[in-house]
Amino acid sequence: MVNPRFSILSEDFAVDPYRCFAQLRDQAPVHYEPAIDSYFLSRHPDVKRVLTDHEAFTTQTLQVRAEPVMRGPVLAQMTGAEHTAKRKIVVRAFTGQALQDQIRAIHANAAELIAPFLPRGRLDLVNDFGRPLAVRVTLDVLGLDKKDWQQVSAWHSGVAEFITSIVLTPERRRHCMDCAEQLEAYLVPVIQERRRHPGEDLISRLCTAEFDGIAMSDREVTALIINVLAAATEPADKTLALLFKHLIDHPEQMAQVRQDPALLPAAIAETLRYTPPVQLIPRQAERDAVFADGTVPAGAVVFCMVGAANRDPDAFADPDAFDIHRPDLGTARSFTAAAQHLAFGTGLHQCVGAAFARAEIETVAAMLLSLLDQVRHAPGFGYRETGLYTRGPASLHVDFT
C-alpha cells in the first residue's frame, strides 16, 4: 500500500513528483484523489489505453476544464468528420511551407532576444529568454502585433492558469475568466479584419480554410487561436530549459551534442520522455472501466500521468536515466504518431504541433549551443521546478563564455 495519506495535492509531490512515480505505478496504478474526485493513472499501458480507446474515454471534461477560457470548443473536443476536417486545417498551418516561414520567425526572434545578454555572460534561460521567446514566436505565427506581447502574455497566463490548475479558488477563477474575456475582445476585431484581407498568417488560414466543405465560425476561430496560443506557448520555455538543464547535468552528452549537432533531435526527444512539460492529460470515463488494480466508474475524470508513464520500466529500460543514446527512444518516431513516449499524447488527439515544437526547440537550441560557449549553472541560485499539470524550471540561471 502507498502511504494512505499520500496525495497528488501534497507539498511533497509538488516538490518532486518523479520520486513518487515508481510507488504509484507499483502500488496504486489507479490512484483516487478524493478532494477532487478524480483518478490518476501512472502505468504506460494504462495511459496508452485511455488515450487510444476514444469510445470509452472521451474529452468531455474539456467542456469545463478549457471551454470557459477558450471561449468556444477546441480541436480536442471535436469528433468524427468535423474533427478530421478541422484538424487538417490546423495541421496544414503548422507543416510544409508554413513551417518553413515559422522557422525563419523563430530564428529572428531568438537572435533579437539573446543579443543583449551576450556581453553579460549570464542569463536566466526561463524568465529572460524562454518565456518572452515562446510568446513572441506564437504571436508571429498567429500574425498578431508583437508590440502587444506583454498584454497578450498576461492574458495568456490567466488562460493557462485556468486549464492547468488542479484546484482554483473563486477569486483566481474570476481573474482567469477576466483574462479570457479581454483576450477574446482583443481577437474578434482581428478576425473580422483577416476575413476581409487575409494574409499568410495562421489566423487568416483559420478564417479562410475549408475542408470537405467545412469552414470555421468566428467563435471556433477564436477558440482555436486561444488554443494555439496556450499550446504553443506554455510548454515551449519549459522544454527548452529542461533540455539545457539535462545537458548541463550530463556534460559528456552535452559534449557529444556539440560535436555532432545531428544528435540534437535525440536530446530533445529524450528530454520530452524524461521530463514531459505537459504532465497530465484529462479524460472522462464513458462507462465503468476495469484496470488491473481497480475500476474507474462511469462519468469519472481520469488524469493520465505522462511523466510517470514515460518512466515505466515496461516501456523504457533504465527509465530514470537521461540517455540520448537509449536504443528504445526511436528519435525519428518521437515526433510522430509512432512515438513510444507520451509527451505529445497519443491517439486521435495527439498534439498537432509536434513538428512545430521540434522545429522551434531545435532551431533555438542549436543557436544557443553555438552562442553560449561553456554554458553551465550560475552558482548560488538553486534549482526548483513548479507545476503539476504543466511543469518546468521556475528559473535556470546560466553562466557562459
Write out the residues near ligand 2IO by the rule CB under 6 A.
62, 66, 74, 76, 163-164, 227, 230-231, 234-235, 278, 281, 390
- Angstrom CA distances, 372 to 106, 117, 159, 248, 401, stand at 18, 10, 33, 12, 6
Read off the amino acid at residue 61: T
SS3 category, 401:
coil
Q: Both ends of the chain: CA-CA distance in Å?
A: 50
Shorter beta-carbon distance to ligand 2IO: residue 138 or 253:
138
**DSSP-assigned beta bridge partners for residue 281:** 304
Shorter beta-carbon distance to ligand 2IO: residue 67 or 399:
67
Task: Count CB-CB contacts under 10 A for residue 120.
Answer: 11
- Nearest distance from C-beta of residue 364 to ligand 2IO, angstroms: 19
SS3 category, 304:
strand
Distance CA 168, CA 136 (A): 28
Tell me how far apart the 2 most distant CA atoms of the chain are, in Å: 62
* Nearest residue to 165 via CA among 299, 157, 5, 133: 157
- Nearest distance from C-beta of residue 181 to ligand 2IO, angstroms: 17
- Nearest distance from C-beta of residue 76 to ligand 2IO, angstroms: 4
Q: Which helix (H) or strand (E) holds 111?
A: helix 96-114
Shorter beta-carbon distance to ligand 2IO: residue 161 or 293:
161
- Nearest distance from C-beta of residue 233 to ligand 2IO, angstroms: 8
Shorter beta-carbon distance to ligand 2IO: residue 268 or 372:
268
Shorter beta-carbon distance to ligand 2IO: residue 62 or 141:
62
Residue identified by cell 492574458 is: 155
Distance CA 83, CA 141 (A): 22
Shorter beta-carbon distance to ligand 2IO: residue 63 or 192:
63
- Nearest distance from C-beta of residue 378 to ligand 2IO, angstroms: 29
* Nearest residue to 331 via CA among 260, 386, 234: 260
- Nearest distance from C-beta of residue 333 to ligand 2IO, angstroms: 20
- Nearest distance from C-beta of residue 397 to ligand 2IO, angstroms: 25
Shorter beta-carbon distance to ligand 2IO: residue 68 or 198:
68
Distance CA 243, CA 268 (A): 6
Shorter beta-carbon distance to ligand 2IO: residue 117 or 356:
356
Kindly state the DSSP code that residue 206 receives in the 8-state scheme: H
- Nearest distance from C-beta of residue 289 to ligand 2IO, angstroms: 21
